[in-house]
């Protein structure tokens, strides 16, 4: 069941991206593509029989997983930037986000966890401030038990404890989002566009800092991130 849903989604996202990227001219078009992909994923999830699958333990304010690097494509960064651009102080926000990205760019997840470098999009209550436009990598994660997450990200488990990093999750949700990410990256590469991913902080900041970046990106420019 997971396999057929994932294959169907991959074809849907590939078709969506191919069509949308051919016509896209700027940030709003990239944001619209991201929204269409999220909708396609939700449609596939809704088609899957719920069966006796346990519900997620994830709740607003539980931000245990928001301390690792979030691989984000340019399309997703543009979607976040489009959302943030309406706020006052966008330029300063972009500078802060870029500074954070510089700090975490070369860190492994375990180093980032140890340094307590939580995602800069977390608000004071531990909620995601960009929840409606969060990246696929965030959307794909769910946990069936918050204790799994705390143990996996505690940073104190011995290296030889193979179970310490295991988090039981909704595998269909994870597979659909991973597949959508891969299909989007392939569609970008097929058009000769920058298909690299960077942490959500940097990818969002790059587009937020330069309102003309989306058009340049669609014309073949690389996102200016190391
Ligand atoms: S973007 Fe939102 S959900 Fe994703 S890591 Fe950051 S705060 Fe968490």
pLDDT-based confidence at residue 188 (cuts at 50, 70, 90): very high
How remote is the CA of residue 202 from the centroid of ligand 1, in Å?
A: 13
Q: What is the predicted pLDDT for the residue at 70? A: 97
Q: What percent of the chain has pLDDT over 90?
A: 74
**Closest ligand 1 atom, residue 138 Cα:** 4
- 189-205 pLDDT, tens digit per residue, is 999 999 999 999 999 99
- Is 52's pLDDT higher than 70? no
- 81-134 pLDDT, tens digit per residue, is 999 999 889 999 999 999 999 999 999 998 999 999 999 999 999 999 999 999
pLDDT-based confidence at residue 160 (cuts at 50, 70, 90): low
- Is 162's pLDDT higher than 90? no
- 57-73 pLDDT, tens digit per residue, is 888 888 889 999 999 99
Q: What is the predicted pLDDT for the residue at 163? A: 66
105 neighbors 6 (Cβ within 8 angstroms): no
Which secondary structure element, helix H or strand E, spans residue 205, and what is its range?
Answer: helix 200-209
Question: Ligand 1: which residue has its CA nearest to atom 8?
Answer: 66
pLDDT-based confidence at residue 161 (cuts at 50, 70, 90): low
Query: Which of 60, 79, 121 is the best mutation target for the ligand 1 pocket, counting ligand atoms within 8 Å of the beta carbon and taking the most?
Result: 121
| Distance between CA atoms of residues 23 and 19, nearest Å | 7
| Distance between CA atoms of residues 45 and 25, nearest Å | 30
* SS percent in the chain: helix, strand, coil, step 5: 55, 5, 40
How remote is the CA of residue 2 from the centroid of ligand 1, in Å?
A: 26
| Distance between CA atoms of residues 60 and 68, nearest Å | 18
Question: Ligand 1: which residue has its CA nearest to atom 4?
Answer: 138
Query: Which of 134, 149, 173 is the best mutation target for the ligand 1 pocket, counting ligand atoms within 8 Å of the beta carbon and taking the most?
Result: 134
**Closest ligand 1 atom, residue 68 Cα:** 5
Q: What is the predicted pLDDT for the residue at 153? A: 83
**DSSP for 75-130?**
HHHHHHHHHHTTSTTHHHHHHHHHHHHHHHTT--HHHHHHTT---TTB-TTS-BTT
- Is 157's pLDDT higher than 60? no
Q: What is the predicted pLDDT for the residue at 85? A: 94
Q: What is the predicted pLDDT for the residue at 38? A: 98
């Amino acid at each position: 069941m997971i396999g057929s849903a994932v294959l169907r989604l991959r074809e849907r996202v590939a078709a969506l991206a191919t069509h949308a990227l051919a016509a896209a001219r700027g940030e709003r078009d990239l944001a619209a593509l991201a929204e269409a992909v999220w909708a396609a994923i939700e449609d596939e999830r809704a088609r899957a029989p719920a069966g006796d699958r346990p519900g997620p333990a994830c709740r607003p304010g539980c931000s245990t997983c928001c301390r690792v690097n979030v691989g984000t494509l340019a399309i997703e960064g543009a979607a976040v930037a489009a959302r943030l651009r309406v706020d006052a102080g966008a330029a300063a926000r972009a500078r802060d986000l870029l500074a954070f990205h510089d700090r975490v760019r070369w860190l492994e997840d375990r180093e980032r966890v140890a340094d307590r470098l939580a995602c800069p999009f977390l608000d004071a209550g531990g909620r995601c401030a960009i929840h409606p436009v969060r990246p696929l990598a965030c959307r794909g994660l769910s946990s069936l038990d918050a204790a799994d997450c705390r143990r996996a990200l505690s940073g104190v488990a011995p290296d030889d404890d193979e179970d310490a990093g295991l988090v039981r999750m909704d595998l269909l949700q994870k597979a659909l989002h991973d597949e959508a990410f891969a299909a989007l990256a392939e569609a970008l590469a097929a058009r000769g566009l920058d298909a690299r991913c960077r942490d959500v902080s940097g990818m969002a900041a790059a587009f937020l800092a330069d309102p003309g970046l989306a058009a340049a990106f669609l014309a073949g420019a690389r996102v200016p991130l190391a």
